[in-house]
Amino acid sequence: MIAAAAFACSKGKEAASPKQENVKFTLNKLDRPILYESAKDAKSNCDYNLGLVKEFRGNILSVDGVRNVENTLEPMNEIHIAFERILGVTSLMANTHPDADVRKAAEECQKEASAALTEINMDKGLYSAIKAVDTSKLDGAAKRFVMLTLREYERAGVDKDDATRRRLAELDAAMVQSGLDFGRNIRDSKPKLKVTVADLEGLPADFIAAKQSDADGYLELSTDYTDYFPVLSYAKSEAVRRDLTQLFNERAYPANEAVLKKYLEQRYEFAQLLGFPSWAAYITADKMAKNPETVASFIDEVVKVAKPRMEIDVKEQLERKKKEDPSASEFYSWDRFYYNEKLKQEKYQVNAQEIREYFAYEKVKKGLLATASQVFGVSFQQVDAPVWHDAVEAYNVIENDKVIAYFYLDMHPRDGKYGHAASFGMLNGIEGLQLPAATLVCNFPQPSADNAAYMEHKDVVTFFHEFGHLMHQLLAGRHRWANQSGISCEWDFVETPSQLFEEWAWDYDVLKHFATNDEGKIIDAQVVKRMKQADSVGLGVHVMRQMYFAALSFQFHNAKPADIHLQDLAKALHDKYSPFAYINDDHSYTSFGHLDGYSAIYYTYMWSLAIAKDFLERFKSKGLLDPSVSREYRNKVLAVGGAKDADEMVKDFLGRPYELAAFKKWLSE
């Protein structure tokens, strides 16, 4: 049961931050992340921290004598922290600030800081200085700092000749620019579809009412998630679903066709210069998977279980489609959500639109925070603090009457804002210097005096998912060394905490505390049971779609780009993995934003999910709200950050290496 007092959402003065001693820092202590009100602020913050990097670098290189923690490792740690103080906030500001000039200045700062970081990573003097420290008497955390730092230097190519290092630095800067271009082209692509009210038959009344018609009586649909998913789920008109899907898939085309090709070439050359056969080989070397062969094997293993389930799903959905269109012979991507909803209603009496009445945004937010408060053993206090938009809320995370972290909620769509859902890490917590901070960025409907902003349950699940990321960032914030704080674990483990926390959004003992309709009626336990059963509808299709994207990101990066024709390879992989009929001239890869951040390793979503399903078995044994298991999970996994390898964290929590049994059971049930 969730205790009513567990969630402190009073809006008030900030509680006192805990005093943290032990290490002397040159960097100034931060009470909160430094936000930008203007483009000048972005440049000022960038210049100030880059100046500190230069100072720390000079101090390390000027050491005359034996190198140790104080004269070499601690200033190197502060270099890491100074870069994080730039890159965390600028990434957020570039994606969310309402002022286009600030977004542009933040992007410029990202480029400048990334170039400076590359220069640091290519500095043989710094590399030699770290390598010269005698680690024999260091504690485990300091030894790990040295190991991780040296590894990153070697992965940057610091041990190469001068010409190679110069080229690697050029490529690194070029890749940063390509990533910015790729993301901006997607973000700025805002195609619209004009429709009539009749075209929207099947959509919720409040969705239609929120649309304003133009002088000719047409309504506009955007490709933002707030339009895209409701239309794909409920619009009776296949033509509308098809046209909006094709607009969605063609975002950033043709601009990103050339950008992506160049990006792949840059990555390939970078990997080759470091002695790797491909970018996929380079990027997996420091992950749990270790190499491309393991990734390929994992994809094959998941497909082996999922494909038979997918074929059953497609057959069932096509048969359901034929009830409305007897001439139908193909099942397309725009059919998936619509017929999933039909089947859920008919097989399990689950109507997502009716269920929405139990998930008004404000109730969901308060319920999620209360749940997280109990699970993670902290409380939350909304406070008056500087923000970058009036809709953004600021919070303190409190434990034992002390502030241990900060976070912000930026939850509703607006022009120029990142269009999906993500947790942006702003600061890694450093013991004695700064508390961790992060922002949850989503695009859920915004409540108003006459609109409760009802959410579909899948959006509630997304909220829990991203909040799982946010708590990972905040609870792993009590480390001395920057490369062990926050979400600094292997990337194929990163999604485990977020995918695990989704499970709380499906648990009746959780939902009954906040899932109420306007009359105050609590959602029925049998309804929640049927929702969980209905969630298995189309599961094989979902997993195979994910494996298509996993294979796409992997194969784009596991060969020589000159030998790849993007559209042809995408079609070949679509034919092998995708559950949907191919759409001629499909260029959806140009708007697949994860090709930037995840590059070759989109497989990590399913890899992490396999671990999350294994973790879930421990929680199931005592119930999701049992404090003993959740505290052990917090201490042995979340709080660890990157202080241990993910394999070790898994063993610490499970008492054994992770297994695929629970994942396969979930997939085949």
What would the DSSP string read from start to end of 226-278? Answer: HHHHHHHHH-S-HHHHHHHHHHHHTTTTTHHHHHHHHHHHHHHHHHHHTT-SS
- In the three-class reduction of DSSP (H, G, I as helix; E, B as strand; rest coil), residue 642 is classed as coil
Give the phi and the psi of residue 507 in degrees, each rounded to 5: -95, 125
The span from the CA of 234 to the CA of 279, in Å, is 41
Q: Which of 183, 260, 119 is CA-nearest to residue 268? A: 260
- In the three-class reduction of DSSP (H, G, I as helix; E, B as strand; rest coil), residue 612 is classed as helix
222 strand-pairing partners = 192
- In the three-class reduction of DSSP (H, G, I as helix; E, B as strand; rest coil), residue 345 is classed as helix
pLDDT of residue 450: 85
Any residues with CB less than 8 A from the CB of 229 and at least 6 apart, and which? 337, 456, 458
pLDDT of residue 669: 77
pLDDT of residue 225: 85
Q: Which of 475, 498, 502, 499 is CA-nearest to residue 641? A: 475
199 strand-pairing partners = none
Q: Which of 189, 91, 240 is CA-nearest to residue 588? A: 189
* Residue stretches of the chain with pLDDT short of 70: 1-22
- Category of 30 on φ-ψ map: left (φ > 0), alpha (ψ -120 to 50) or beta: beta
Sign of the dihedral through C-alpha 493, 498, 504, 506: negative
What would the DSSP string read from start to end of 186-222? Answer: HHH---EEEE-TGGGTTS-HHHHHT----TTS-EEEE
Give the phi and the psi of residue 491 in degrees, each rounded to 5: -65, -25
CA 227 to chain CA centroid, Å, is 21
Domain ranges of the chain: 1-26+360-514, 39-157, 190-249
How much helix, strand and coil, in percent to the nearest 5, is found in the chain?
60, 10, 35
pLDDT of residue 12: 45
Any residues with CB less than 8 A from the CB of 486 and at least 6 apart, and which? 425, 428, 429, 436, 472, 473, 476, 477, 641, 642
- In the three-class reduction of DSSP (H, G, I as helix; E, B as strand; rest coil), residue 503 is classed as helix
Q: Which CATH superfamily is domain 1-26+360-514 in?
A: Collagenase (Catalytic Domain) (3.40.390.10)
57, 83 contact by CB (below 8 A): no
Across 366-411, where does the E strand assignment appear?
A: 379-383, 393-399, 402-410
533, 527 contact by CB (below 8 A): no
Give the phi and the psi of residue 222 in degrees, each rounded to 5: -100, 175
370, 387 contact by CB (below 8 A): no
Task: Report strand pairing: 422-427 vs 379-383.
Answer: unpaired
CATH class for the region spanning 39-157: mainly alpha
What separation, in Å, do the N-terminal and C-terminal C-alpha atoms of the chain show?
29
pLDDT of residue 461: 98
The span from the CA of 6 to the CA of 90, in Å, is 33
436, 474 contact by CB (below 8 A): yes
Any residues with CB less than 8 A from the CB of 115 and at least 6 apart, and which? 169, 172, 173, 176
The one-letter amino acid at 2? I
